[in-house]
Amino acid sequence: MIIVGGSSSRDLAKELAGILECTYIQAASTKFPDGESYTRIDTETLDDDVVIVQNTYPNDNLIEMFLLQDAVRRLGARTITLVIPYFGYARQDRVFKPGEPESAKVMCKHLGMNCDRVITIDIHKEAILDYFECDHMDLKAAPVIADYFRDKKIDLVLAPDIGAANRAKDVGERLGVAYDHLEKTRLSGVDVRIAPAKFDATGKNVLIVDDMIATGGTIVAAASALREVGAESVSVACTHGVFVNNAIEKLTGSALSSVLCCNTLENEVSHISVAELIAGAIRE
C-alpha cells in the first residue's frame, strides 16, 4: 500500500503511513501564475493499492483532489482509496430554493467517478454518503476525543444542539460521566441563541463536543450560557476546526478554558489525531 499526501493533510498522511508501515509519497503542489493548480506525484509507477489523503475544502484542495485522483490512476494504481478528513460542502446537502444545486451530491458524484472507496470522518450529514456509488465509510472521532479527555477531570459532556446529541452521548459514556444537549436557534450565519440549560451545570467542568467550529458563534454562545449558570470551566473539542476569519481569537478570548480539535484540518489547536482511527479502518 502507498499513501499519497495532498497539500491539505501532509502531517496526517505521514503519520498514517508510519502507523501502517507503508510507503509515503508527498505530492508536490504549486500554483501557476494565473492561479490554476498544479500537482505531481514524483514516481515512475504506483503499481499498488493507493490511498490519497486530502481535504475537499477549501475549493483549491477540492481541485487538487481531482488532479491527484487522475495522476494516481495514470501511474497504474490497483485500487484508489480517498481519505477525506474534512469533506467540504457537506452542509449544503439540500435544495432550499428553486434554482439551487444539490452541492453535496455534486461533490460525491464527481469524487466517486475516479476511486474505489471513500473514507470520511464525522461528515456533517451521513445521508450524503449514499450519493457515492463506490464503497464508503464514515469514521467517528468520539473515541479519540474521549481518550484525549480521559484524565482531564470532566464532569459533564454537552452538545450545543440536538444534532450533536449522539456525539455527546458517545463521549460521555466513554468517559463515564453525564451527558446532555443544549437548545440552539440559529439567528444568522454568525449568530446563534442558546436557551438556558435545563440541567444543573453549577460547579461542573463541562466539555462541549461538536462536529465542527466554523465562525465560533455556536460555541461562544454555549460557553457563556454555561458560565452564566455557574459552570466551573468550559472546554470545547470538535472534530473539524474550520475556524473562519478570526474564530480562534474569538474563542480564546471567550468564556472557554480550552479549545481543541482533531487534525482533520491542520491548525494551531489540532492536537487530537485521527490517524490511528483511519489506520484501523484501512487495516480492516
Contacting residues toward ligand R5P, per CB under 6 A = 160, 163-164, 192, 210-218
**Smallest separation, CB 59 to ligand R5P (Å):** 18
Angle of CA points 256, 261, 266, to nearest 5°:
130
Record the cell numbers describing residue 207, joined without a space: 466539555
**Smallest separation, CB 161 to ligand R5P (Å):** 6
Q: Which amino acid is at 243?
A: F
Beta strands 258-261 and 28-31, pairing class: unpaired
**Smallest separation, CB 76 to ligand R5P (Å):** 40
- The string over 265-275, giving b where at least 16 C-beta atoms fall within 10 Å of a residue's C-beta and e elsewhere, is bbeebbebbbb
**What gap in Å lies between CA 132 and CA 136, rounded to an integer?**
7
Backbone region of residue 235 per phi and psi (left: phi > 0; alpha: psi in -120 to 50; beta: other values):
beta
- Active-site choice (31, 97, 140, 184): 184
**CB 3 within 8 Å of CB 16:** yes
Angle of CA points 21, 238, 108, to nearest 5°:
70
Q: Which is nearer to ligand R5P, 52 or 212 (CB)?
A: 212
Q: Which is nearer to ligand R5P, 118 or 159 (CB)?
A: 159
Q: Which is nearer to ligand R5P, 170 or 211 (CB)?
A: 211
**What gap in Å lies between CA 276 and CA 272, rounded to an integer?**
11
**Smallest separation, CB 266 to ligand R5P (Å):** 18
Residues in the chain: 284
**Smallest separation, CB 244 to ligand R5P (Å):** 7
Q: Which is nearer to ligand R5P, 69 or 92 (CB)?
A: 92
Catalytic residue at 140?
Answer: no
Q: Which is nearer to ligand R5P, 6 or 216 (CB)?
A: 216
Active-site residue set: 184
